[in-house]
Amino acid sequence: MKRKSRHPNFDQTLELLRAHSFDVAPVKGNPGGMLVSKHGAAAVLVAAADGAAAFAVHPGVLFRGEVARLLDRGYQKFIRTPQFELPATAAQLHAIHLFSEELRQLTGMVSLYNESLGTTSDQYMYDRLKGREADHAAPVRPWELAGGH
C-alpha cells in the first residue's frame, strides 16, 4: 500500500499558507512562481519536480513588491535590491527570521540548526577577503615532475 506523503503538494501548500494569514500572489517574471509574504518579509515559491513547494527566491524583506536580499559585510547586514543597498534594522532581521521559521514549518521544508539560531544571509562579502583569491598562486605539487625526469 502506498503511504501518504507528509508534505502537501504545491496547491495544498498555498491554501495552507493562506489559512495561516500569509499573503499569496503571482509573481511577474517568474512563471508559476507565487510571492508569499507576512510580517514584512517575503519569498517566492514554485512547484518542485516532486510536486512540493520549493524556493525560487529565498526569504528576504518585502520592498515595493519585490524580495530584497540580505547581504553580510562582516560588520553589518544590508538589505540589497537592484536599485539600492541599505543597512538592515533589527526589526527587519527579526521579521525575516520569524517568516522563515513559520514558512518552513508549514510547508514541511527542512529547517537547519544554523538557520534556527538567527537570520542567515544570502551573500557574505567581508572586506578582508575581497580580492584575496587572485593573490595566491597555484599550490606547489612537489610530487609532480616539471618537464622530464
Condensed to tens digits (0 to 9), the pLDDT of residues 85-106 reads 899 999 998 999 899 888 888 8
Domain borders along the chain are 10-111+119-125
Cell representation of residue 85:
543597498
Whole-number pLDDT of residue 36? 93
Cell representation of residue 76:
553589518
- Which DSSP category does 9 fall into? -
Virtual torsion, Cα 82, 88, 91, 92, nearest 10 deg: 20
Instruction: Answer whether 50's CB lies under 8 Å from 108's CB.
Output: no
β-pair partners for 77: 72
Condensed to tens digits (0 to 9), the pLDDT of residues 20-63 reads 889 999 988 788 889 999 989 999 988 888 878 888 888 889 88
